[in-house]
Chains A and B, each alone.
Chain A
Amino acid sequence: MRYLVRRLEFFVVTLWAALTLNFILPRLLPGGPEVALLTRFHGRIQPATIKSLEVALGIRNDQNAIQQYLSYMGNMLRGDFGVSLGFYPQRVSHVIMLALPWTLGLVGTATLIAFLLGTLIGILGAWRRGGILDSVLPPIFVVTSAFPYFWIGLICILVFAITLGWFPQAFGNSSEVTSELSWTFISDVLWHSILPAFTIVLTSIGGWILTMRNNMITTLAEDYIKMARAKGLSPTRIMFQYAARNAILPNLVGFAMSLGFVISGALLVEIVFNYPGLGTFLLQAVKNEDFSLMQTLFLLITVAVLLAVMVADFLTAWLDPRTRERG
């Protein structure tokens, strides 16, 4: 119970911190959204219209900072994120819904693949210490993980899209295919996702391999494994049902967290591939000084991470009773 309360406290504080950060940051700027607005609509709009735009964008100069803060919090909790300056007159929530499925699809799948593959390699590597999987692959992936995502993406584009012409170099689907639930559309989307997904897997798999391998090695030294061996259980059974099952716990939490980071993690990959996901939108919002969109994206990503951590927490508590005691 105490554990539950502590975790809830943590979630609430984090959410509050992210919201407050979002409120303060734009107001630290010289000018901020007001300057952006005035400059953009300069000379083309009557003062009355600017007023109404300000209200729509949540800029209230008639209120003091605390009132602004409270009404801002109210808006955020109601899910009212205002109007996007860059996509004016569309609402931020509408704009985000355009990008969300793409990011979830591409980065979600790629992360799942990296996690499953990485964990498997980690298990096998730890099982056969000194084998190829153990001695050669980990260092290689340590090195590949040190390369910037976006640069690997650029090289992939150069080699596989430009030089060899095997895969498309940009977009989530081709403009010739209408977006509907048909095999043509789905295969088109898949075809476009191969190169960016490959980039993400290549650069993120190293982490999974290493942590899983290290956990496995530690677990394999435990007494109950020795006991299982002594009992003459089959190696496969020991490997997966005894060792891996316990060693995977920390990785599982990591995976839940990274699912949250999915939205943000491969941001630069999306940018390089001109992929219509949240990362692309975030960069665009930054460049167009679309503050409302920028803030909401940041908030959304934070909430996603929080949710994932929450799930992971409860999953661990459920799988591993010791956690509940530790508090």
Chain B
Amino acid sequence: MGLDVRLVADQSAIQAEAARPEAGGLHIVGRALLGNRKALAGVIILGIFLVLAIIPGMLAPYDPHAQIFAQTLGPSREHLLGTTGNGQDIFSQLIWGTRESLAIAIIAGLLATGISLLIGVSSAYLGGLSDHVLSLVTDVFLVIPTLPLMIVLAAYARNGGLAVLISVIVVTGWSYGARQLRSQALSLRNREFLDAARVRGERSGYVIVFEILPTMTSLIVANFLGVALYAVLAAAGLQFIGLGNPSDMSWGTMLFWAQNNGALNAGSPLWAIVPGLCIGLLGAAFALLNYAFDEITNPALRPVRRRR
């Protein structure tokens, strides 16, 4: 699995180097991303899934819910990945499932990053007692074990659907980022440009939003990627053990149905293999981007190219 991605990454990297776009208009981060093979692989995977998520109706051959085919068919031209134990088309389910899986990752990623930012940066900027309390809260959430908490929360709010799933992930996922952002903000706190802003008499909110945040872009993006990866895995896990809404169409619920119908043994292994593969690929896309970000923001980590 890992090897395949690697190969794809290498080829695309070569092409990318051959036709490097002009720097004009592109943000520095963006350019750095395209120059990094791992990042490029991540971007490509993410891009493909984005397309699937936006126009599933144009790509999927059938209604993913319709139980109208023979059960547990193998792959064929009519059914590229065969059919489920309930007579649905697996390929269509996979395409339609992209939307929810991706949505969970992005929405949860954004929300959690937002909370991390709010708490982390205010904590660092305000200092004193506020910092003490906010840091304490962050540390508490950092230590409380997330997966059991998620399971317990989801069990209590059974059938809450997507909103509950996302809330649970956000509640359990924001603290790590908050801590990182706080330290970063802390290191910025006494920089000259901030002193200048204070001297100008700007309010704290203004300083935080317009002076501090822009300098932290890369960490914020990295944090978003981290939470998105976490969200992909967490949502899949919760849905897999039946704590999602089984009528939803997502990769996690596909796995839930596949597992409940013994897909691996009952003659439709693709039903279980393919959604897991997609979850892994989406997760890998976020992880690769995150890894690349580490390299970009920390030059020491960049790959060493041996001379030929």
Contacts and interface: CB of A to CB of B under 8 A. Distances in A.
Direct contact of A and B (CB under 8 A): yes
Interface of A: 9-10, 13-14, 17-18, 21, 25-26, 28-29, 129-130, 134-136, 138-151, 154-155, 157-158, 162, 210, 214, 217-218, 221, 260-261, 263-265, 267-268, 271, 282-283, 286-287, 294-295, 297-298, 301-302, 305-306, 309
Given A130-B303, A148-B240, A143 B5 contact: yes
Interface string B274-289: 0010011111111110
A146 B304 contact: no
Contact of A301 (B145, B232, B237): B145
A138 B304 CA distance: 14
A141 B2 CA distance: 7
A148 B280 contact: yes
A17 B140 contact: yes
Given A13-B136, A25-B152, A162-B265, A139 B6 contact: yes
Contacts of A162: 264-265
A173 B139 CA distance: 39
Nearest to B240: A150
A154 B291 contact: no
Interface residues of B, number: 58
Given A17-B140, A210-B291, 16 more contacts: A10-B139, A14-B144, A25-B152, A25-B153, A134-B303, A136-B6, A144-B2, A146-B229, A151-B279, A217-B301, A260-B145, A294-B155, A302-B143, A302-B144, A305-B143, A306-B143
A298 B301 contact: no
28 contacts: A10-B136, A10-B140, A14-B140, A14-B143, A21-B149, A130-B304, A138-B291, A139-B288, A142-B284, A144-B1, A144-B2, A145-B287, A146-B281, A146-B284, A146-B285, A148-B280, A149-B237, A162-B265, A214-B298, A260-B145, A264-B148, A265-B147, A267-B147, A283-B151, A287-B242, A302-B143, A302-B145, A305-B145
B144 A18 contact: yes
Given A162-B265, A267-B148, A139 B291 contact: yes
A258 to B, nearest CB: 11
Interface in B286-308: 286-288, 291, 294, 298, 300-301, 303-306
A145 B226 CA distance: 12
Given A13-B140, A148-B279, A217-B300, A282 B151 contact: yes
A159 B273 CA distance: 12
Nearest to B279: A148
B269 interface: yes
B154 to A, nearest CB: 8
Nearest to A32: B156
A129 B305 CA distance: 9
A28 B139 contact: no
B74 to A, nearest CB: 16
B197 interface: no
Contacts of B136: 9-10, 13
Contacts of B143: 14, 302, 305-306, 309
B48 interface: no
A214 B301 contact: yes
A299 to B, nearest CB: 10
Contacts of B140: 10, 13-14, 17
A139 B148 contact: no
A130 B240 contact: no
B280 A151 contact: yes
Contacts of B242: 287
A267 to B, nearest CB: 6
Q: Looking at chain A's contact residues, is the secondary structure mostly helix, strand, loop, or mixed?
A: helix
Given A13-B136, A162-B264, A264-B145, A142 B288 contact: yes
A268 B241 contact: yes
B106 interface: no
Interface in B1-20: 1-3, 5-6, 9
A109 B69 CA distance: 47
A143 B153 CA distance: 29
A139 B2 contact: yes
B233 interface: yes
A9 to B, nearest CB: 7
A145 B236 CA distance: 14
Interface in B67-125: none
Contacts of A221: 300
Contacts of A17: 140, 144
Contact of A155 (B5, B276, B282): B276
Contacts of A145: 287
B220 interface: no
Given A25-B153, A140-B6, A267-B147, A151 B291 contact: no
B38 interface: yes
B168 interface: no
B240 A28 contact: no
Contacts of A14: 139-140, 143-144
Contacts of A149: 237
A221 B298 CA distance: 13
Most chain A Cβ neighbours within 10 Å, of B143, B149, B242 = B143
A267 B241 CA distance: 11
Nearest to B141: A17
Contacts of B306: 130
B165 interface: no
Contacts of A151: 236, 240, 255, 272, 276, 279-280
A147 B155 contact: no
Contacts of B6: 136, 139-140
Interface string B147-179: 111011101100000000000000000000000
Contact of A143 (B155, B279, B287): B287
Contacts of B255: 151
